[in-house]
Structure 1
Amino acid sequence: MGSAGVPVVVGLDNGGSSNNATVLTVDGRFLVDELVEIPSEVHAGPEAAIDALARALDGVLAHTGVPRELVRAVGLDTPGPASAAGVISSRGSTNFSEPAWRGFDVRGALERRLELPVTYHNDGNAAALYAHHVHFGADAMVRSSVSAIVGTGLGGGVVENGRVVSGAAGMAGELGHVHIPLTDLLAPDQPVPACACGFAGDVESVASLTAIERNLLPYWLGRYPDHPLAAESPARAARLVRGYGERGDELARAIFTQQAAAIGRLFTIAANFTDPHAYFVGGGVVEAAPEFRDWFLATVREHTTLREEQAAVAAFALVPDRDMAGARGVAIAALEALRGGSAPRPVMT
């Protein structure tokens, strides 16, 4: 597996239940083409979680046969909210709910534990970066993209010239909390959706698993009172909607049409700010049967309003390798950081 004597960087994707790890050689080859996971231990607190990340690194090195001394840097991603430097929000987050996590410097703690430089991105940024480099290949460092990653919330990222745009406070790419016009997106009697962040009418309030459970499904079940999902708990029903959508169910397709339209309106706003070369959609909503994910992406495209000149050059695509995208994305970021701002060149070969 390992490439004899070739230095590497390791990508670590931290989640609420598991850590996934990958290895990228400095000449741009991934040595892992599968999930290499262990429990993340995040609910046991920061100390246990940092130990688990260190074990994930050791495990993927053993898996690939790469000696520890060949590791030059590490990339880490976690769910947000967190600063660009890897400090968890002072209010905590869904995955980091224990008080000890509030304001915790997860990047710095891992760097001290491993005695290696650690580069940090949130998981949405990491997936966006990976999608960008896979799609553009040799042209990645001279292209731009915007990604929307649909999960429990809505994450994403803005990539310019092959690098994530972080912003002054590290909050760039928080696309879920961009407000979108709701005219003709909602049904005439449908309430304005509320987001868990306190906003009303942002993208995440429509395009997320939480939005399905709290906002969309209650309304649409009122229109389809005899639907089988009416007998399920709200949380379980929300997770079952995609399966119905794959089978062409009217209620489910109505929900996902609203989600796709919301993402299309987000991309319309992005087109007038960044005018990217590509728009990517990722997350659980597109980890589905081919017909459904193609329909969903086409619906996003239909609701993205571009000028003729933009439409001629813009691409719409899905984020590949969803479960591996985070670890791979931060491995790419770590390799770029290791290069130290040298002349841009493709990361992946």
Structure 2
Amino acid sequence: MTSTERYHYGIDIGGSKIELVACDAALDVCHRQRIATPAQDFDAFVAAVAGLVEAADRALGVPDGAAPVPVGLGMPGIVDAASGGQLSSNVPALNGRQVAPALAARLARPVRMGNDCQCFALSEANGGAAQEFDSMFGVILGTGAGGGYCLGGRLVAGYNGLAGEWGHWSIPASLLARHRLPLLDCPCGLRGCLERYVSGSGLAMLYRHVDRQAELRPGCDAPEIAERAGRGEALAQQALAIHLDLLAHGLAGLVLALDPHVFVLGGGLSRLGHLYRDLPAAVARHLFKGARVPPIVPPAFGDAGGARGAALLARQHDRA
């Protein structure tokens, strides 16, 4: 094994930042760099990613003429199966673009691309919170709601690469009626998607829904709502209870569809401690008698998981 074969690069693409990590043979991160995302200019985006890779090569002492270090890319959104272009990205410059081929040509090395939520799951399945489990589902609760499914430590992407997109399951009309919630349109083109209700912005919407004055008050994001609930504010507690019920419905559907051995929560809402305490019982209420709720645990790698998972994606393809 040459020195360059020991490394794989993972790049996590976000709306405001791009992070590159280099993982060694033990999957330990040995180099990390973050830069701001050139969100509006595709050529600038490609140049920025190339600069990160070239800087990593220099930092790790990759010699000229050596085999290039493979790159894994964790991308927001999905790829259009017909055109190969990126869709639903929070980086406007990438929409409609064939990102992986463009980067592979610029970097002159293999580039493997996966959804950023799937990369999070892959990281937690390999040396993370789900390491000891045969299967896992990584549940992302942040700006949106997505996830990834791993079986035996390997990512299951599916026919369209969409495995894990539970945030775009529709909430039943009966559940919306129970909480007197409106049927909301989703940017994906569907209506009533779970993402609109259980993401960070969804929780803020629920708080505005139960407290009509909340729109007039600042600081109604998810952490502030949880803090208000902890201080005993009834309306904040009501919003969290509705959020818990809707989220539990989504996870119960995942139990019935995939029956993972563990759920690992990620994203900003994974820091809300009451989810680990209250969510298992809430999920059980949406399952038939005798079905067990898998453990629901916090992530081991926090916000570093996406880039590390992208490196793992590159490594698994490299060894396939």
Q: TM-score range by the shorter chain?
A: 0.7 to 0.9
Q: Match for residue 253 of structure 1? A: 237
One of 185, 190, 198 as aligned partner of 1:199: 190
Residue 39 of structure 2 is aligned to residue 42 of structure 1: yes
Q: CA deviation at 1:296?
A: 1.7
Q: CA deviation at 1:187?
A: 5.2
One of 103, 111, 114 as aligned partner of 1:118: 111
Q: Match for residue 343 of structure 1? A: none
Once the two structures are superposed, the pairs formed by residues 332-347 of structure 1 within 5 Å of their partners are: 332-340=312-320
Q: Look up the equivalent residue of 2:188 and give its one-letter code.
A: C
Q: Match for residue 129 of structure 2? A: 135
Residue 225 of structure 2 is aligned to residue 244 of structure 1: yes
Once the two structures are superposed, the pairs formed by residues 214-225 of structure 1 within 5 Å of their partners are: 215-222=205-212, 225=213
One of 209, 216, 222 as aligned partner of 1:230: 216
Q: Match for residue 274 of structure 2? A: 295
Q: CA deviation at 1:27?
A: 4.1
Q: Match for residue 170 of structure 1? A: 161
Q: Match for residue 62 of structure 2? A: 67
Q: Look up the equivalent residue of 1:49 and give its one-letter code.
A: F
CA distance in 1 between counterparts of 2:80 and 2:29 reads: 28
CA distance in 2 between counterparts of 1:173 and 1:182 reads: 22
Q: Look up the equivalent residue of 1:38 and give its one-letter code.
A: I
Q: CA deviation at 1:54?
A: 1.2
Structure 1 residues 265 and 123: alpha-carbon distance in aligned structure 2, compared to 1, 3 A threshold: same
Q: CA deviation at 1:212?
A: 3.8
Contiguous gaps of at least 5 residues in structure 2: none
Q: Using the aligned pairs only, state the percent identity.
A: 25
Q: Secondary structure at the match of 1:16?
A: coil
Deviations 1:87-136 (A, max 9, x none): 444xx4342334xx443111111111111111111111111111222124
TM-score normalized by the length of structure 1? 0.78
CA distance in 1 between counterparts of 2:90 and 2:303 reads: 17
Q: Judge which range, 195-204 or 164-173, deviates more.
A: 195-204
Structure 1 residues 136 and 188: alpha-carbon distance in aligned structure 2, compared to 1, 3 A threshold: closer
Q: Secondary structure at the match of 2:139?
A: strand
Q: Secondary structure at the match of 1:129?
A: helix
RMSD over equivalenced CA pairs, Å: 2.9
Contact 2:203 2:240 in 1 (8 A): no
Structure 1 residues 183 and 302: alpha-carbon distance in aligned structure 2, compared to 1, 3 A threshold: farther
Contact 2:203 2:243 in 1 (8 A): no
Residue 19 of structure 2 is aligned to residue 20 of structure 1: yes
CA distance in 2 between counterparts of 1:209 and 1:203 reads: 12
One of 96, 99, 110 as aligned partner of 1:106: 99
Q: Judge which range, 119-128 or 4-13, deviates more.
A: 4-13
Q: Match for residue 308 of structure 2? A: 328
CA distance in 2 between counterparts of 1:216 and 1:264 reads: 15
